[in-house]
Chains A and B, each alone.
Chain A
Amino acid sequence: MILARDVRGTLAIAAVGVLFMLIAPSVLELFTIINLTTAIALAVLALSLALVWGYGGILCFGQNAFFGIGAYAYTIAAINFGGSSWAILVAILVAVAFAVVIGYVMFYGRVSDVYLAVITLTVSLILYSLIRRTSGPDYKIGKSLLGGFNGITSPPINLPWDPSFVLFPEHVFYVAMGALVVAYLFTSWLTRTHFGRVCVSIRENELRAELLGYDVRLYKLGIFAVGAGVAGLAGVLFCNGVGRVTPDVFNLYNAALTIIWVIVGGRGTLIGPILGAFGLFYLTSALGTQSTVNNNLVLGIILVVFVLGVPKGVIPTLAGWMAARRTRRALRARERRMRLRRARGGGGRNDGAGAGAGPGGGGPAGAGRGAGAPE
């Protein structure tokens, strides 16, 4: 029953996404649509970390590495192939393969959470400094120069059967929004499969999952790789939205940004980080147009405030409030019913006891739910 309501929620969110996809281009200006495409790409990246961290419990601080690898792999492959269709697939596969190598070292070496965070971040930063060094004609893969810190111009997506029919920005918007909806449905489906539940159980208690006979290392590697694939897809969308890919995709700022979306939106939900990415995208764009307040400063404050004050993130905190309110209301309703019944039944002797028990039951929000938890 709970699961069914969950599924309805997911489908409702997906439906809103589809509706937005259909309506936005006819309502909004082209400039806004192009901007939105970039925001959507970032939302897909947020979704990938929501899966890996929020569900898999894997503290990946360098999720943007797979995003950047996706963007670079797409661009290089598209230039070499002269078309985008296979390049998209290559981008996702390269990101997954890279994650498998890194993940193998980390999970099969059983490095701790904190090491894992630092290693993934370091990988991203190393890629940043490596790619920045690749200017000049010496550094090329096939026909594509790597371009150093200037990056590479990314060929836009074309129709699958016709490389000469290149999509216009408004079409790319459809592709991006469609990809976001599909990725959202895919990841929320995944979290409900046996595989996904095992990953969640590993997040909850690694030893217990292991003692049930699950190979924890393999499952972690699995969800890490899937997350990298989604991030790779996000990279493809991103370089299509922006029109080029530069080493900045790997930098510390973007690594931090990805983490902040998930912290703000909330771990353990998929929609939270997506909304977090949209929200912060518009916040930072708004800040970007003025020069008094620095972006890093604002992000730093947001991160510290959330870690100290709202550690669960916005969506889970709101959901918690709502659940607590529902419980309180249900309790009050029950009390009212009981009082009514007593009044009608006229059981005068019980009144005293009933009134005494009343206020106690209406106390803390969670008290009504824990069906007999005398701790």
Chain B
Amino acid sequence: MDLVAAVGLQILYGIANLALISLGLAIIFGMMRVINLAHGEFLMLGGYTVVIAANAGVNLWVAMLILAPLVVGVIGVVVERLLIRWLYGRMIDTLLATWGLSLLFIGIVTSIFGASTATTISPPLGVVSIGEYTSSAYELLLIGITVALGIAVFLVLKMTSLGLVARGTMQNAEMASALGVSTSRVYMITFGIGAAISGLAGGLLAPVTGVLPTIGAVYIAKAFITVISGGAAILAGTASASVLLGGVNGIAAFLTGPTIGEVALLVTAIVLLRLMPRGITGGLFRKSL
């Protein structure tokens, strides 16, 4: 019984982890149809913000929950104004330009902080025990934060005027701009929010994973798979794909080992894409958020 609980918790954490690292990407993709190849670097920058701030004596929670999203959100807005906005409607060029940006960020961070791990910080909160098994309390907290983040995004999309415009843009970008909605401003804010959430995610994960200039590559493969498998709907897509892929990964990893777990995740995603080329929400529930 304890084993089931512990394994279940581990799988749940895997799912939450996928959702956490994908949400920022999903927001930008879902609303702007831009796939941000610098997404991994936004996570990386969030991580660096936390590590540097914590080492400078800032309270870890402040660094993770406030500084990381703030810094990366600002970077996101700057990037959108300087680069992305010139390329709207040119999806392939946007991909390439954000890839260039990704390399640029890696290069800048490497030049400043070096290629190896900056001084790390350890996860706070210690462990909780489930019968004879233990689980990291911080991982439990991350599950909770992920759920809270999902609810927050849902409420913003559902309740606020920004959310209304965003949903309009999601359904039909041309219509929205024809109605006089300043898509330019919506896009800037959206990109900023997407970046901020990525920064938050990167910051929250920094104590678990440590930080490296190239750590973005570790995240993006999984984030891409999740977002593409999920399809265009931001929340329903991210949630359903995270549950499916995270679940498969977790179960396969428990039964055989982490390597097979990743293979299972990849194979599931490939089969899924063959059956539903536009992702779960492109194939099933089209009008969800």
- Indicate whether A and B are direct neighbours in the complex (CB within 8 Å): yes
Q: Is the C-beta of B3 less than 8 angstroms from some C-beta in chain A? A: no
Chain B hits for A59, CB < 8 A = 92, 95
Contact with B along A239-268 (1 / 0, CB 8 A): 000000000000111001001000100000
Chain A hits for B103, CB < 8 A = 253, 256, 296-297, 299-300, 303
Q: Is the C-beta of B99 less than 8 angstroms from some C-beta in chain A? A: yes
Chain B hits for A297, CB < 8 A = 103-104, 106-108, 110-111
**8 A Cβ contacts from A105-129 to B:** 105-106, 108-111, 113-115, 117-119, 121-123, 125-126, 128-129
Chain A hits for B104, CB < 8 A = 296-297, 300-301, 304
Q: How many of chain A's residues touch chain B, expressed as a range?
A: 35 or more
Whether A133 lies near B258 (C-beta < 8 A) is: yes
Contact with B along A92-105 (1 / 0, CB 8 A): 00000000001011
Chain A hits for B78, CB < 8 A = none
**Nearest B residue to A301, CB-CB:** B104
Q: Is the C-beta of A308 less than 8 angstroms from some C-beta in chain B? A: yes
Given A125-B217, A294-B110, A298-B107, A115 contacting B100 (CB threshold 8 A): no
Q: Is the C-beta of B241 less than 8 angstroms from some C-beta in chain A? A: no
Whether A303 lies near B100 (C-beta < 8 A) is: yes
Q: Is the C-beta of B225 less than 8 angstroms from some C-beta in chain A? A: yes
Chain A hits for B93, CB < 8 A = 307, 311
**Nearest B residue to A303, CB-CB:** B100
**Nearest A residue to B221, CB-CB:** A125
Q: Is the C-beta of B145 less than 8 angstroms from some C-beta in chain A? A: no
Whether B96 lies near A263 (C-beta < 8 A) is: yes
**Nearest A residue to B40, CB-CB:** A252
Q: Is the C-beta of B220 less than 8 angstroms from some C-beta in chain A? A: yes
**Nearest B residue to A298, CB-CB:** B107
Q: Which of A113, A119, A256, A299 contacts B92 (CB 8 A)?
A: A113
**8 A Cβ contacts from B205-254 to A:** 213-214, 216-218, 220-221, 224-225, 228
Q: Is the C-beta of B116 less than 8 angstroms from some C-beta in chain A? A: no
Contact with B along A278-297 (1 / 0, CB 8 A): 00000000000000111111
Q: Is the C-beta of A191 less than 8 angstroms from some C-beta in chain B? A: no
Given A113-B92, A300-B100, A125 contacting B277 (CB threshold 8 A): no
Whether B221 lies near A119 (C-beta < 8 A) is: no
Q: Is the C-beta of A158 less than 8 angstroms from some C-beta in chain B? A: no
Q: How far is the CA of A122 from the CA of B40 in the complex (A)?
A: 12
Whether A109 lies near B274 (C-beta < 8 A) is: yes
Whether A130 lies near B262 (C-beta < 8 A) is: yes
Whether A294 lies near B111 (C-beta < 8 A) is: yes
Whether B263 lies near A130 (C-beta < 8 A) is: yes
Q: Is the C-beta of A10 less than 8 angstroms from some C-beta in chain B? A: no
Q: Is the C-beta of B162 less than 8 angstroms from some C-beta in chain A? A: no
Whether B96 lies near A119 (C-beta < 8 A) is: no
Whether B270 lies near A105 (C-beta < 8 A) is: yes
Q: How far is the CA of A111 from the CA of B229 in the complex (A)?
A: 12
Chain A hits for B220, CB < 8 A = 122, 125, 252
CB distance from A107 to the nearest CB of B (A): 10
Q: Is the C-beta of A150 less than 8 angstroms from some C-beta in chain B? A: no
User: Which residue of A108, A130, A304 has the most chain B CB atoms within 10 A of its CB atom?
Assistant: A304
Report A's interface with B, CB cutoff 8 A.
Answer: 59, 61, 102, 104-106, 108-111, 113-115, 117-119, 121-123, 125-126, 128-130, 133-134, 251-253, 256, 259, 263, 292-304, 307-308, 311
Report B's interface with A, CB cutoff 8 A.
Answer: 35, 37, 83, 86-87, 91-93, 95-97, 99-108, 110-111, 213-214, 216-218, 220-221, 224-225, 228, 258-259, 262-263, 266, 270, 273-274, 277-278
Q: A114-B92, A128-B217, A299-B107 are in contact. List 12 more A-B contacts (CB 8 A).
A: A111-B278, A118-B228, A122-B220, A122-B225, A126-B262, A130-B259, A252-B220, A294-B106, A296-B110, A299-B100, A300-B104, A304-B101
